[in-house]
Structure 1
Amino acid sequence: MKKNYLKKSGKWMLSACLLASVPMIPGTMLATELQTCIMAVQLDTTTLKELFDQIEKEFSYSFLIRNNDIDLSERVSVDMKNRSVEQILRNALKNQHADFIVNDRKIIVYKIASKKETETFVASMKAQQKTIKVKGAVIDGTTGEPIISANVLVKGTLNGISTDLDGNFELEVPEGAMLEVSYIGYLKSEVKAQTGKMIIKIKEDTQALEEVVVVGYGVQKKESLTGAMQVVKQDKLLDITTPSAENLLSGKAPGVYVNSGSGQPGATGKIVIRGKATVNGGTDPLWVIDGVLVGDGSGNLNPMDIESISVLKDAASTAIYGSMGANGVIVVTTKKGKSGKATINLSAKTGITQLNKGGFSVMNGSELYDYYKSFSNQESIQFPQYTEDLRNKNFDWWDCATHLGIAQDYNLSISGGTDKMKSYLSLGIYDESGAVKGYDLTRYNFRYNVDYQVNDWLKIKPSVWGARRDVDDKQHAVGSMYSCLPWDSPYDEDGNLYQESQPVEWVSPKMGNYLYDLQWNYGKTTSYEFMGNFDFDIKITDWLTFSSVNNYKYGNSAQKTYTDPRSSGGKAGSRLRSNRSRIRIKLICQDRIHRMFSKKLVKT
């Protein structure tokens, strides 16, 4: 028996059901219950669909159309008072040569055929209404222990129940129905409903429980986890083009809020895990990259080098980091080499950025003039340019300062090795021009990770990573996009830039012509970041391993700004040139012991 439920229009829904492949005739009907449903219908040239709609609303029945062979658009006139629904329907369907039966609050409409075929259909409908009471228990397929709160559902329906403290359940189901049994950490099982007590055995989902995830300073199996943690794999991270690892988490993990930041090229998102937990303190989580605590941000980490990100949310999962993990912890695992033939990956991605006004817009010259003319105190509005000519002055400061930003991301990686030595090398270039003109970012990345099994008891894992970041800043003034009047243009009548910061021809010269200053003023920032690791594992016995993480981090940032004496900011007493340089060096050594007791891993 095939079913096809369809057709929805406005507030009315009609289900069309393909109940059999043979036609039917009137005979023994199951519509007697409609004789007790009394209603008044006064509809002039209405459609069958509208009539069915009124009956559904009045008595909570739903209609099923067999074989979709009833013309629901046929117009009928019905004027019947205090009549049963059965009488009303027989009168409305007489021109369609159709009849109907009732089954489980469903009125099934069909074309008339032979008596024998109808009797067969009616018998099958009666059989569908037979139900049996199923009793049983759900147990662990390995240990035989009862499973508490396992879900037992009739397949394809919402009819179900949860097992009690002893794993028992009791449910009324259609005869021959399939039961679906499921529970967290177990494989879903399907069994046929039977009379008598059923014993349903379900098996653990060992693949999910054995999966190793990064947590704390090392790794742990999912079955051993006690805290709240979310793992985001690489295939779900790299669906956007961004230089920031923070922005990758936007919308990827429940309980993790990512503010996109200013939108300026290279700007990182603000991450808040499980809401703000402090009044005056910061909300930035702790970042841990390959077991190294790097602070409250990912730095210049290349998103293409990330294998997975684990977000540790609650006190149980972040306790190992102490107070540093109070706002949550984000653990990043970078890509490693894999044994086998060398694999070369080359990727090129391009994205576009555009400044979003939201629902805000600024007036043009004509609109602003009409707004001024609407004031009642016209005598108080006095400036030389206040004439009808202002309607024709309309400089678009928004269009002047913005354009379509382009982001380009190119990456090359090589991975391979043997069982003894595996390596991963990557190179990346990211270039982005901002949606606000004049701000450009270029970043270069490289990474080299090695895993070398020296012998049976010693494994070394050296790695180096570096990045250079260049920012050219001659950004147009965002504030002027909103504050400068459309009557004031930075260009004269000949199209040349006014050579003064406050043109006297302007209606509001105090707003300032920032394009004049941008002829000379600029800012440049170049930063370097380097991190090297020399990690190693010493296997003392089969159940005891000593691991050491040794990290050296170097950072250097040089910022140069220039303010020309001819600009508005270069007047006497102002700083004309500024050069700032900052160097950061950090050395981290972390040692830990892995001890195995009865196949359970303990970390010290």
Structure 2
Amino acid sequence: MVSHSGYEQLTVPVAGAGAPLNLRLKRVSKALEDVVVIGYQSVRRRDVLASVSSIGSRQLRDIPLNSAEEALAGRLAGVQVTGSEGSPNAQVMIRVRGGGSITQDNSPLYIVDGIQLDNALSTISPQDIESIDVLKDAASTSIYGARGANGVVIITTKGGRNTGGRTTISYTGLFGVNVLEKELPVQSPYDYMYYQYERAKQTGDSSGIVPYGYKWDTVQKYKNVSPYDWQHKVLGRHAFQQSHNVSVTGGTEQTQYNLSLTDQRQEGVMLNSDYDRKLLAFRFDHNAGAGLKIGFNVRYNNTVVNGAGTSNPGSSALNYLRQVVRYRPFILPGQTDNSFDATYYTETNANSLSLVNPVLLNNATYRRSNSDILDVNGYANYTFTKWLSFRSTFGYDYNNMRLDAFDDTLTYNSKINGASLPIGDITSKLNTTIDNSNVFTFSNAAIPGLSARNTPLR
């Protein structure tokens, strides 16, 4: 076996001892011919001097995830992808070049088909992405000014192709089940009672075991009590997920189009959590002749998310994830897994802990988020000569979000902010963004005697 940097590996059987071998290795040039988007233009990878990480549609299509953000985890060098929690559609933090400011936003700048969009990866289906290029160093991000200080994520969506006028219809389906990978170890009923007994004996405070009795023989009886797994009850669902994508692609040499419809549904491993997302994307490109090329792209996204997740904002006192490991590991006689133990709630009020049945607490909190996002962008590209072209892009982003929330009297929000009364809240947000860029591109590759470099002039 013979190998060399920049050449394909070659394996040749040995004919005999001392026999001469004449070998010729084949250059690996395919990767160097790949096109990478740098700023406002595309260049071959062999001409790239900046630090760039890229991933294409081939790597994304086989990943069993509904989220394009999560699909990037571990696949881009120098890019950190971290999920905030395990709830459906939870926000994923992306950090480029290790940005870690405590007080400022470290999110990178997202550019989709030349237009700036906030949190673009959360609004685009993985099946609609052609390529993702991440610009990481100062040289490549400086073209976007201060906006690119935390890195730039450039996303190119799929367009049509020349099929000779024929229409191609393709379908991609995904089915899966999400489960909790590992539970945190907790005390057994006996260990829990023994700890309460010893604590009360040492401190002289019997309040910790009032509901159970004070005598040692009473504690011994808990050796035969079956434990109750609150983690499995609250976070142990076999959460089913599915994704369906239908794309219609076609075109001629002058005109190409791509229509994509995506339906994504996913249950959460946590009780009362799920999300439903519908996406529509249409891209049209037309070569009008005489050096003029025009096109537009329309994307619509409707997402409905149910559930508050594990990290309820506010204090950690009634954080859902902490409740499932702090609550006593058994159920008292006469109670169920949905009972409210007022005595236990009062006795565990140290530091505003106030332990509540995790199932009951989860049912006492209602969250429903509904968002509608419409992105429309178009471009016109005119080529004056072989070495000079002009491109103008225009984008409009409409983001309308509504959050319905209800907190019963058991929740921390009701206890602190509502004087232990139920709280209902409806929040509406509407953001609109208009983006326009105009770029002259000078390509000296067409001029004899000059190196092949592209220089965008804004």
In the TM superposition, what are the counterparts of 1:268-417 in structure 2 within 5 Å? 268-276=91-99, 280-295=103-118, 297-340=120-163, 341-357=166-182, 360-372=184-196, 377=201, 380=204, 382=206, 383-384=209-210, 385-386=212-213, 387-388=218-219, 389-391=221-223, 392=225, 394-402=227-235, 403-417=237-251
TM-score (norm 2): 0.80
Q: 2:255 aligns with which of 406, 421, 440?
A: 421
SS at match of 1:267: coil
User: 1:317: how far off?
Assistant: 2.2
Deviation readout 1:366-397 (Å, 9 max, x if unpaired): 23234445669468362331323444263321
CA distance in 1, matches of 2:19, 2:8: 14
CA distance in 2, matches of 1:357, 1:453: 55
CA 1:154 to 1:462, structure 2 compared with 1: closer, same or farther past 3 Å?
closer
CA distance in 1, matches of 2:19, 2:57: 47
User: 1:514: how far off?
Assistant: 4.9
CA distance in 2, matches of 1:434, 1:520: 17
1:552 aligned partner, one-letter code: Y
Matched, 1:541 2:385: yes
CA 1:300 to 1:376, structure 2 compared with 1: closer, same or farther past 3 Å?
closer
CA 1:550 to 1:501, structure 2 compared with 1: closer, same or farther past 3 Å?
farther
- The structure number with the bigger radius of gyration is 1
Contact 1:451–1:462 (CA under 8 A) maintained in structure 2: yes
Contact 1:273–1:327 (CA under 8 A) maintained in structure 2: yes
Task: Tell which deviates more after alignment, 465-474 or 330-339.
Answer: 465-474
1:458 aligned partner, one-letter code: L
CA distance in 2, matches of 1:421, 1:565: 60
User: 1:449: how far off?
Assistant: 0.2
Matched, 1:493 2:340: no
**Two-structure CA RMSD over aligned residues (Å):** 3.4
CA 1:153 to 1:563, structure 2 compared with 1: closer, same or farther past 3 Å?
closer
Structure 2 stretches lacking a partner, 5+ long: 311-319, 447-451
User: 1:214: how far off?
Assistant: 1.5
Q: Counterpart of 1:29?
A: none
In the TM superposition, what are the counterparts of 1:37-76 in structure 2 within 5 Å? none
Structure 1 or 2: larger strand share? 1
Q: Counterpart of 1:584?
A: 431
SS at match of 2:232: helix
1:544 aligned partner, one-letter code: L
Higher RCO structure (Cα 8 Å, ≥6 apart): 2
CA distance in 2, matches of 1:156, 1:412: 43
Deviation readout 1:294-349 (Å, 9 max, x if unpaired): 24553411111001111212122222122222222211111000111211111211
CA distance in 1, matches of 2:102, 2:329: 42
**Count of matched residue pairs:** 417
Q: Counterpart of 2:326?
A: 483
Percent of matched pairs sharing the same residue: 24
CA 1:220 to 1:153, structure 2 compared with 1: closer, same or farther past 3 Å?
closer
SS at match of 1:298: helix
User: 1:588: how far off?
Assistant: 0.6
CA distance in 2, matches of 1:209, 1:596: 19
User: 1:518: how far off?
Assistant: 5.1
Q: Counterpart of 1:526?
A: 370
CA 1:369 to 1:152, structure 2 compared with 1: closer, same or farther past 3 Å?
closer
TM-score (norm 1): 0.62
Matched, 1:229 2:52: yes
Q: 2:290 aligns with which of 451, 456, 463?
A: 456
Contact 2:300–2:375 (CA under 8 A) maintained in structure 1: yes
Contact 1:438–1:475 (CA under 8 A) maintained in structure 2: no
Contact 1:214–1:310 (CA under 8 A) maintained in structure 2: yes
User: 1:243: how far off?
Assistant: 3.3
Contact 1:250–1:257 (CA under 8 A) maintained in structure 2: yes
CA 1:504 to 1:539, structure 2 compared with 1: closer, same or farther past 3 Å?
closer
CA 1:151 to 1:512, structure 2 compared with 1: closer, same or farther past 3 Å?
closer
Contact 1:245–1:301 (CA under 8 A) maintained in structure 2: yes
Deviation readout 1:153-207 (Å, 9 max, x if unpaired): 99879xxxxxxxxxxxxxxx966244666xxxxx44xxxxxxxxxxxxxxxx664
CA distance in 2, matches of 1:298, 1:308: 12
CA 1:371 to 1:213, structure 2 compared with 1: closer, same or farther past 3 Å?
same
SS at match of 2:180: coil
Deviation readout 1:497-530 (Å, 9 max, x if unpaired): 43x4625699758412354455564121111111
1:345 aligned partner, one-letter code: S
1:555 aligned partner, one-letter code: N
In the TM superposition, what are the counterparts of 1:21-170 in structure 2 within 5 Å? none
Contact 1:485–1:508 (CA under 8 A) maintained in structure 2: no
CA distance in 2, matches of 1:353, 1:152: 42
Contact 1:516–1:567 (CA under 8 A) maintained in structure 2: no
